[in-house]
Structure 1
Amino acid sequence: MHILILGPFPPPEGGVARNIAAIRRYLIRENHQCTVICTTRNTSGHQTGGVFTPANAIEFLQHMLKTTADIIHLHIGGRINWRVYTLLGICILFGRRRSVLTIHSGEFGISKKHNVFFLRYLLKQFCLIIAVNKQISSVLERLGVKPDKIRVISPFVLPFIERVEVPHDLMEFVDARSPLIVSVGLLEPEYDLEIQIAAIQSLIKIYPKIGLMIIGSGSLEAHLLSLIKQKNLESYVKITGDLPHVITLQMISLANVLLRTTRFDGDAISVREALFLGTPVIATDNGMRPEGVITITTPADTVNLTSAIEKLFQQDSSTVPVKNDTDIDNIEIVLSLYKEIYQKIANFARRAPVK
């Protein structure tokens, strides 16, 4: 079986990209072929080994024309804009009865900006749609997608942590800061990172050695660095940029808490990873956080976030709710769905009249 996956691929280490990488590893381990065509910017510029990063739309279409895949699986997340509509259309054009869609976006479940009629038409063309949570599933049903074409499957979480050498500057920060707070995500407005920085400034009075490590990159990097300098917090807040996933996991495992203050969100993989590693999580309430997450109101504000962190640090660590769950079965469910679709395609081909 040959699966073509369209979506982001590491690096950088985003949640959707890690999920796709995990699916690809699993398929190859099970002796299936898996090709990935990146639909977002990829810093490695993959062009071999079954992972390709087109430089432009023409190269993307050239790769699509060459594909011999049995199933095409498109992953989307973020805002549903004209670019996403185009990807949906291309996937349907080349996939026909063999196209699968996974919707990771938290905004998809709350946005009112969709072109309803056009989106409804596109979604109905997919043979199967995977929603990462029930909220997205409900929106799909309201858009007219039949329930039997929808599956709710949470993202796959890596069930182990590989120990590697951590850069000296990161370990120096970790060793100097206690308690240590880690935040993983994009440096974009919807992550409300300024509120995290403001909370650290308030907590310094109680925890003079506290530290916040922000892992990720984005358009607000220069602004956030300037803000940190302006508030004289260079010793307390460190922006690392994108890190290899194994190092990100080690930072999460060393943290006293992981923060996720998004204004909208899907089923964030970093949250599930933190819970698996035994690290408490404080996150804005999006109505779909996994069991064990300490939630605060959305959008986050400095007072509520500071209060939640302070309350957590005052608790006995043995009473902090953390749920360990590998979710290994989730990726096996995806493989079983591929096999189900593959079998349907084979049955259809056998029934087709010979010309």
Structure 2
Amino acid sequence: MRVLLVGDHPPPFGGVAIHVQQLHRFLRSRGVEAKVLDIGKGGRPVPDVLPVRSPAHFGLRLTGFLASGWTVHVHTSGNNPKAWLLAAMVAGVPAGRAPRFITLHSGLLPDYLAASAARRAFARVALAGYTRIIAVSLAVREALLSCGVPAEKVLVQPAFCASQVQAGEVPVKVEAARARRRPLLTMAHHPSPVYGRKVAFRALRKLMESHPDVGLALFGPGTDSEEFIRDARELGVAGQLEVLGELDHPAALGLIARGDVFLRPTTHDGDSISVRESLALGVPCVASDVCARPEGTRLFRAGDAASLATSIGEAVAAGPAKVASPDVGPVLLELYEALAPRRSAPVQAAPAA
């Protein structure tokens, strides 16, 4: 069994990239020859993670793997033209008999496809060449079915490998934040308004009335921007923030593990990997009600700071979470093995890196 994962690989540490990294690690732990064709920005060299220099370079590498009989699994958001061009390109390469899989990750996908009949038609054509399509939520599945994708090809599975969630060491400033904040809330930050920074700040302001030592530790891009600083000052929470910038994923998990509650105040969402990581680490998670959330998540009304503050208070009072987390790794491995063609000819060498 040889599997090529196509998608972003950290850094940066986005949800799709983290899932690709964890699935790659899981497959290798099971003795599968697995590689990643990294279509992101790339970073420090990682064994069996192959950077892509250009679209032509990507096409050549992909064709080589398919011609050599590798099972290919694409991971993309599905909420923008680039994602669908990638899906179409991989499905359209006329090489190899091995199955092709795709996981569509974004909670914005349903709205993206609903906005245009042309988008739905393109999605249907782009997905025609895939043996199986993995939707991370029922909403994503329904959106795909509305495009005319055959129901029997679409599976709903969370993009999560519970066995790969391992909290790492944290910077000294995280331990310092833990020591001075009661409770310590944590949150993955992004400059996009979809991530709900303002509603989190407003809820934090309300919590200060009953919990004067409360702190919110944020990690991720954009925490040094003028907009971030302005919002923190105008909403009166600058003194309660622990701004940590971008952390390596193990350190981010270490931070979440040391917190009292993890926040996910998004305005749109898919199957958030950070929500599942929090629960897998035994940390209560408070998330917006914009989509189906894993069992054990405490919900609040999206955009409602008072509702968020109330839910945080309840989560703090309830204490650590106890949730059984799913692991898509074994499910995908079984699927790969069931659908992979039986080889009778000698195995070709992997394409050169």
Deviation at 1:228, TM superposition (A): 2.3
Q: Note if contact 1:181-1:212 (Cα within 8 Å) is conserved in structure 2.
A: yes
For 2:244, the equivalent position in structure 1 comes to 240
For 1:337, the equivalent position in structure 2 comes to 335
1:302 corresponds, among 302, 305, 315, to 305
Query: How many angstroms apart in 1 are the aligned matches of 2:325 and 2:136?
Result: 16
Q: Note if contact 2:189-2:197 (Cα within 8 Å) is conserved in structure 1.
A: no
SS in 1 for 2:40: coil
Deviation at 1:160, TM superposition (A): 6.5
Deviation at 1:185, TM superposition (A): 4.6
For 2:106, the equivalent position in structure 1 comes to 105
For 2:86, the equivalent position in structure 1 comes to 87
Percent identity between matched residues is: 26
Matched, 1:134 2:135: no
Q: Note if contact 2:279-2:325 (Cα within 8 Å) is conserved in structure 1.
A: no
Q: Note if contact 2:91-2:127 (Cα within 8 Å) is conserved in structure 1.
A: no
Deviation at 1:230, TM superposition (A): 5.0
For 1:260, the equivalent position in structure 2 comes to 264
For residue 191 of structure 1, what is the amino acid of its counterpart? Y
**Could you tell which deviates more after superposition, 113-122 or 257-266?**
113-122
Q: Note if contact 2:202-2:235 (Cα within 8 Å) is conserved in structure 1.
A: no
- The normalised TM-score by structure 2 is 0.87
Deviation at 1:157, TM superposition (A): 3.4
SS in 1 for 2:11: coil
CA, structure 1 residues 95+104, in 2 after alignment: closer, same or farther (shift >3 Å)?
A: farther
Q: Note if contact 2:78-2:84 (Cα within 8 Å) is conserved in structure 1.
A: no
SS in 2 for 1:209: coil
Matched, 1:205 2:209: yes
For 1:27, the equivalent position in structure 2 comes to 27
For residue 333 of structure 2, what is the amino acid of its counterpart? L
For residue 304 of structure 2, what is the amino acid of its counterpart? D
Query: How many angstroms apart in 2 are the aligned matches of 1:83 and 1:187?
Result: 21
For residue 37 of structure 1, what is the amino acid of its counterpart? L
Matched, 1:63 2:61: yes
What does 1:110-259 correspond to in 2, within 5 Å? Answer: 110-111=111-112, 112-114=114-116, 115-159=119-163, 162=166, 164-218=168-222, 221-229=225-233, 233-259=237-263
In structure 1, stretches of 5+ residues that fail to align are: 348-355
CA, structure 1 residues 248+220, in 2 after alignment: closer, same or farther (shift >3 Å)?
A: same
Residue by residue over 1:153-193, the C-alpha shift from the partner in whole angstroms, topping out at 9 and shown as x without a partner, is 11223337656442112211221111011112533221011
Alignment root-mean-square deviation, CA:
2.4
**Could you tell which deviates more after superposition, 153-162 or 247-256?**
153-162
CA, structure 1 residues 307+147, in 2 after alignment: closer, same or farther (shift >3 Å)?
A: same
Q: Note if contact 1:187-1:220 (Cα within 8 Å) is conserved in structure 2.
A: no
What does 1:305-320 correspond to in 2, within 5 Å? Answer: 305-313=308-316, 315-317=317-319
Residue by residue over 1:204-235, the C-alpha shift from the partner in whole angstroms, topping out at 9 and shown as x without a partner, is 22211110011211498442134324556443
Residue by residue over 1:255-288, the C-alpha shift from the partner in whole angstroms, topping out at 9 and shown as x without a partner, is 1111101111111111111112221111111331
SS in 2 for 1:241: coil
Q: Tell me the number of residue pairs that the alignment of Structure 1 and Structure 2 aligns.
A: 337
For residue 324 of structure 2, what is the amino acid of its counterpart? D
**Could you tell which deviates more after superposition, 99-108 or 133-142?**
133-142
CA, structure 1 residues 23+164, in 2 after alignment: closer, same or farther (shift >3 Å)?
A: closer
Residue by residue over 1:100-155, the C-alpha shift from the partner in whole angstroms, topping out at 9 and shown as x without a partner, is 11011111134322511111111222111011122212222222222221111112
SS in 1 for 2:212: coil
SS in 1 for 2:9: coil
For residue 306 of structure 1, what is the amino acid of its counterpart? A
1:275 corresponds, among 263, 268, 279, to 279
SS in 2 for 1:102: strand
Deviation at 1:316, TM superposition (A): 4.3
Q: Note if contact 1:15-1:268 (Cα within 8 Å) is conserved in structure 2.
A: yes
For residue 40 of structure 2, what is the amino acid of its counterpart? T
Query: How many angstroms apart in 2 are the aligned matches of 1:104 and 1:129?
Result: 11
For residue 334 of structure 1, what is the amino acid of its counterpart? L
